[in-house]
Structure 1
Amino acid sequence: MDVLDSWTAGSYSAAGATHQTFRKGSGPGVIVIHEIPGITPAVVAFADEVVGRGFTVVMPVLFGRPGAPATVGETIRSVARICVSREFSMFALQQTTPVAAWLRSLASDLHTELGGPGVGAVGMCFTGGFALAMLAGAPVAAPVLAQPASPAPVGRARKADLGLSPADLASVKAKVAAGCPVLGLRYQGDPAVGTRFDTLRDELGDKFIAVEFPGRKHATLTEHRQQEAVDRVLAFFEQQLNP
């Protein structure tokens, strides 16, 4: 049985782009943005837990083969796709990923359909900061940054950069100051995250909720899953999205 058999496949077009989507559940909306190499069985397992807690989950396919395992070959194929795509920026400083426009539109339409205080969004690894980029221009009420690793942590400046334009950073800070918290997850020794948690603390203050684990592993919600991380995300969604 394919791990996505119980999910409804569809597509969504906006901002000059079309991406396949998978949807399941009922209740407030949550957008689960997969990590490299794609929607792996571990990503689906996490998303199924979100569905099980009473949420409508939409998983967009930004790259990779849906349902394929997290192998070296799949990772190489996905990185190659990212490197040549105009929707992503791996190394740019103080620049919001171009695919954020598409994600914001998806979040806005999902919120219009389902109502409530907003939608949840969780990004992982390369897409970890995408939830923050969505907060800048969409009705996101529960942004989760799982081991944010973009831009690529090459050099001191990139290790600290949040992957946001100055205007989007200002918008995020205004929304956070108005009451929207941001949840971040990481292993403390994960080199891919760089010093972004320090930047998030400096920019967002005590509204940035850091959940940190010892060690040098990476994928807190999936391949190197920590149950506490999953539980904290589910509790965060319930707190922020259930009025």
Structure 2
Amino acid sequence: MAIDGVTRRVYVAGHGPAVIVMTEMPGISPQVARFARWVCAAGFTVYMPSLFGRDGAVPGAEEGVQVFRQTCVHADFRGLMSNRSSPVLDWLRGLARQALDECGGAGVGAIGMCFTGNFAISLMLEPAVRAPVVCQPSLPMDAPAALNMPHEELARVRQRLEREDLSVLAFRFEGDRHCRAERFAAYGAALGPRFEARELPDAAAHSEPPPFFARIVACPHSVVTAHLVDAAGHPTLAARDEILAFLERRLKGTDRVLP
């Protein structure tokens, strides 16, 4: 899909209001694709851009580390910089505008995970985006209490949230070493009560995630993908259902009945 002269592969499926699903590190794994299919099944059109890694792969630990290192130093991303936005966000905002044109409706949802977690908040600078979901935002990696956005952009996001009566839905595991409590506290301070934080107990994380998550991430981390337990009544599945209900309210103006 070509936007502002830059072409990226984007997987599109489903019907209904648009939701941009941004992959976690180290790429669009089967677990990320499974989550995207759940969003489709809930009555939305998913736009899932390929940002890094091998699409559809279950990378081993070594390959995952290589993708991580390459992405950190790529010009489109700023994995180690505090108070700076990643250049890829301009392209993603263009994708949101195009998705709204193609799907119509009240607006677009944006779901970020891990490396792309905070992107969902940055996309709120684009008026088309109305339903931001932040899952374990991990940038910047070397400063647990820092944020990957300029202060002035955060202030503009807060103003919009308050002006339009919107909110940010956010998830993390309590013991996540890559998205620590300090980061959620910083977002709460910057965005106020419009930042709706959810913290799951570590015991709720899947005990046998894929190799990259077991060996390199090495802590509860990916709430709705690699560490999700697909069992009725499980806290991680409840988190998924809360996300779907949030999208339903913001993009369709209705309340989804949870199972």
Q: Same fold (TM over 0.5)?
A: yes
Question: Could you say if the C-alpha distance between residues 13 and 238 of structure 1 is closer, same or farther in structure 2, counting changes exceeding 3 Å?
Answer: same
CA offsets, 1:185-210, max 9 Å, x none? 00011111131110121122221111
Q: How does 1:80-91 map to 2 (within 5 A)?
A: 80-91=69-80
Aligned residue type for 1:134: L
Between the aligned partners of 1:70 and 1:123, the Cα distance in structure 2 is 20
Return the offset for 1:15: 4.1
Match of 2:237 in 1: 227
Distance in 1 between residues matched to 2:65 and 2:58, nearest whole Å: 13
In 1: Cα distance, 2:66 partner to 2:152 partner: 33
Q: 1:197 aligns with which of 184, 187, 190?
A: 184
Moved over 3 A (4+): none
1:214 is matched with 201
State which drifts further: 65-74 or 45-54. Answer: 65-74
Answer yes or no: is the 8 Å Cα contact 1:180–1:207 preserved in 2: yes
Contact 2:21 2:47 in 1 (8 A): yes
Matched, 1:140 2:126: no
CA distance in 2, matches of 1:107, 1:165: 21
Match of residue 13 from structure 1: 2
The change in CA–CA distance for 1:172 and 1:29 in structure 2 (over 3 A counts) is same
CA-based RMSD of the aligned residues comes to 1.3
Aligned to 1:115: 104
Percent sequence identity is 39
Secondary structure in 2 matching 1:191:
coil
1:166 aligns with one of 151, 159, 167 = 151
The answer to whether 1:62 aligns with 2:62 is no
Task: Name the CA distance, whole Å, in 2 between partners of 1:227 and 1:70.
Answer: 24
- CA offsets per residue over residues 207-235 of structure 1, 9 Å max, x none? 11111111251000101011111111111
What is residue 4 of structure 1 aligned with on the other side? Answer: none
Partner-residue secondary structure (3-state), 2:161: helix
Matched residues in 2 for 1:223 and 1:60: separation?
19
**209-218 or 232-241, larger mean C-alpha shift:** 209-218
Structure 1 residues 222 and 70 mapped into 2: Cα distance closer, same or farther (>3 Å)? farther
Amino acid at match of 1:34: T
Q: Is the 8 A contact 1:50 1:57 kept in 2?
A: yes
Q: How many residues align?
A: 228
1:105, 1:138 within 8 Å by CA — same for their partners in 2?
Answer: no
- Find out whether 1:92 has 2:78 as its counterpart: no
Taking the aligned partners of 1:52 and 1:71, their CA distance within structure 2 comes to 29
Describe the SS at the equivalent of 1:223: coil
**Aligned partner of 2:166 among 167, 177, 180:** 180
Given candidates 29, 33, 37, the residue that maps to 1:44 is 33
1:121-179 Cα deviation digits (max 9, x unpaired): 10100110011111123411110000000111x2xxx2122211223112211111121
CA distance in 2, matches of 1:86, 1:186: 27
TM-score by length of 2: 0.84
The change in CA–CA distance for 1:201 and 1:166 in structure 2 (over 3 A counts) is closer
Deviates more, 1:182-191 or 1:12-21: 12-21
1:126 maps to 115
Name stretches of at least 5 consecutive residues in structure 1 with no aligned partner.
1-11
